[in-house]
Chain A
Amino acid sequence: MTMKSTKAFKNPEDRHPFLQQLDQLWRNKTAVAGMIIVILFVLTAIFAPLISPHDPIETSLYDQLKPPIWHADGSWKNILGTDDLGRDLLSRLIHGARVSMAVAVVSVSLAFVIGTLLGSVSGYYKGFQDNLIMRVMDIILAFPYILLAIVVVAYLGPSLRNAMIAIGITYVPRFARIVRGSVLEECEKDYVTAARAVGANDVRIILIDILPNCLGPLIVQTTLSFASAILDAAALSFLGLGAQPPTPEWGAMIARSRSLILRASWVMTFPGLAILLAVLGFNLFGDGLRDALDPRLRD
């Protein structure tokens, strides 16, 4: 017998829960596929200037609407072809990952911080604060899907920054609700009573004692929110409410390609596939994380 089997004699239940979770995540093939897509996406976003073959906003009158490499007229110079201003599509896609990543990080962080704060206050102090905060969350949830984001941007003015704020606001309730639920549950447990008995203050109890125990569902929600933030930001930019030209943003690229649909379908195809792939990656990974970290939701 090899080393491997002697290791297996150890009771798997003795291992640290974190290792068990990691193990489960690793065995979930779709989650690993999602993780690989996410890592590729993040690396592309970070190293965009290094790997993109051309400047994403540099126009070239001589290279307008060049088809991708596999067309008869394609060339190695522009592997995925060019748009109507002669900008290299591959470079724009690569830099687009950066824009999407930035939007997702900023808007989800915003929602995470505000939502966690409101949720902890709600769950810890209960009573009036809880009622008030949860009613406000209900009001935000009364706006379907991206309507609130559209309205917020319509008033603040179209820009990528305002799109991030708008998406961030609409995601606050999901975090607030999760944290509130977990905090309510944790507050009933003895360790919180013990912390109170030794005179720890509320901020310490919430931050140091309670919140680390709610991390699982929060991590899952954060990952899944990344997926929807990328999708919503692309939708807002498609409507002309997010990134403004010449920013290489995937949704905005699709919007611009609408008039070219007859002449150059590739200008429209690739940005859409990029959005689909990035969002799918985060969704797959998030689903896997949920199975591993949140046993209540496992089927």
Chain B
Amino acid sequence: MLAYVVRRILILIPTLLGVSIIVFLMLHMTPGDPAELLMGERATDEALEQIREHLGLNEPLHVQYGMFLKRLMKGDLGETIWTRQKVWTEVKERFPATIELSVCALFISCFFGIVLGIISATKQYSLFDYLSMLGALVGVSMPIFWLGLVFMLIFSIHLAWLPISGRLSVDITLETITNFYILDALLTRNWPALRDALWHIIMPAFTLSTIPTAIVARMTRSAMLDVLRQDYIKTAKAKGLSQFMVIFKHALRNALIPVVTTIGLQFGVLLGGAILTETIFAWPGVGKWMYDAVMQRDYMVIQGGTLFIASLFVGINLIVDVLYAVINPRISVQ
């Protein structure tokens, strides 16, 4: 098991190096002077010379990449053009918001996806099965940036049930410890803030969960159908076990093995989708921050944010692979 984990981590190194090369090269493939791109148009000649010196922009490309990598190792992602803050500081400020939103969306998609998948599989070819699978197909075809706006129109504007944007109402005070608002509200026993935070997260989380829910539902259904056809299920039924016991105790355990991988892969969809969802709902996370950076051409933020999100994604995939090996001992030996 340990050997497997170590090997998986070793495979990560070339991938992460590749990601850093792509991010590094992109700046150089962009037309224009890299120093000017990084410092913005208003930069003085002095400042430009300074950044050239600091980043070694006058050196050959491979030396520059070496310096870039060295700075990365030290956790130095540079300074933003607009706020002149450390990129890393800004990432740390914003990333709890993104994780909070993604995790909520993931919970929603796991719950609805697995439940729909199980019911569809046990009632194969029923009306429920057809409708939920059609719903799942609509789900994977959904432009979520549009769905978010439709939700807004219905639930915020027409019905006025849910707040239209943001993470917390202005009149609510919350002492932040972890910057995960739901967690903070629980820790400080601040119930009005908890309610408010939950109220704010419902719409963006449901919007973001659309595609993963659909994918998880389809995967659960087909995995469940595979398992239900196997002999040991017939045996369990023949023993006279109740339908409930057969499904939840015997079938689900094995059916969930491929579903776990699918769920893990959905984190990529969530992290990418967060850029769209956060932009629509003015959710102050990494996604909205990246979008603003793209609009303002803040290349330091784009570089740092891309590296951060890609590393996070690669790390999560590693965890999923290891988890998969743990729950499915058949593959860990190889």
Chain A residues with CB under 8 Å of chain B are: 30, 135-136, 138-139, 142-147, 150-152, 154-156, 227, 231, 234-235, 238-241, 251, 254, 257-258, 261-262, 265, 268-269, 271-272, 275-276, 279-280, 283-284, 287, 299
Contacts and interface: CB of A to CB of B under 8 A. Distances in A.
A138 B15 contact: yes
Interface of B: 14-16, 18-19, 22-23, 26-27, 29-30, 134, 137-138, 140-143, 145-147, 149-150, 152-153, 157, 222, 225-226, 267-273, 275-276, 279, 290-291, 294-295, 297, 299, 302, 306, 309-310, 313-314
Interface centre among A30, A142, A254, A275 (most CB of B within 10 A): A142
B248 to A, nearest CB: 22
B143 A143 contact: no
Contact of B143 (A156, A231, A257): A231
B141 A276 contact: yes
Nearest to A135: B14
Contacts of A238: 143, 145-146, 276
Contact of A234 (B143, B225, B294, B309): B143
8 contacts: A144-B268, A147-B306, A155-B27, A155-B30, A155-B299, A254-B145, A276-B141, A276-B146
A276 B294 contact: no
Contacts of A261: 149, 152-153, 157
A254 B152 CA distance: 14
B15 A135 contact: yes
B145 A276 contact: no
Contacts of A272: 143, 146-147, 149-150
B143 to A, nearest CB: 5
A261 B155 CA distance: 13
A145 B269 contact: yes
B19 A139 contact: yes
Contact of A151 (B149, B153, B225, B302): B302
A257 B152 CA distance: 13
B121 to A, nearest CB: 10
Interface centre among A147, A251, A299 (most CB of B within 10 A): A147
Given A30-B137, A147-B306, 15 more contacts: A30-B134, A142-B16, A144-B313, A147-B271, A147-B309, A150-B290, A150-B294, A156-B30, A238-B143, A238-B145, A261-B152, A268-B153, A275-B146, A287-B137, A299-B222
A26 B203 CA distance: 40
B268 A145 contact: yes
Contacts of A271: 146
B271 A145 contact: yes
A41 B275 CA distance: 29
B251 to A, nearest CB: 15
A283 B214 CA distance: 13
B307 to A, nearest CB: 10
B149 A147 contact: no
Contacts of A257: 149
Nearest to A227: B141
A144 B290 CA distance: 14
A190 to B, nearest CB: 29
Contacts of A251: 143, 145
A144 B267 contact: yes
Contact of A284 (B14, B137, B146, B309): B137
Contact of A146 (B140, B152, B272): B272
B142 A283 contact: no
Contact of A150 (B23, B267, B275): B275
Nearest to A282: B141
Contacts of B137: 30, 280, 283-284, 287
Given A154-B302, A251-B143, A280-B137, A147 B30 contact: no
B140 A283 contact: yes
Contact of A143 (B146, B276, B294, B310): B310
Contact of B276 (A138, A235, A269): A235
A152 B26 contact: yes
A142 B271 contact: no
B207 to A, nearest CB: 13
A272 B138 CA distance: 12
B19 A144 contact: no
Contacts of A258: 149
A235 B18 CA distance: 26
A279 B141 CA distance: 5
A299 B15 contact: no
A287 B137 CA distance: 10
A240 B295 contact: yes
Nearest to A284: B137
Contact of A275 (B143, B310, B314): B143
Nearest 9 interchain pairs by C-beta: A145-B272, A272-B146, A139-B18, A144-B268, A279-B141, A280-B141, A144-B271, A144-B272, A154-B294
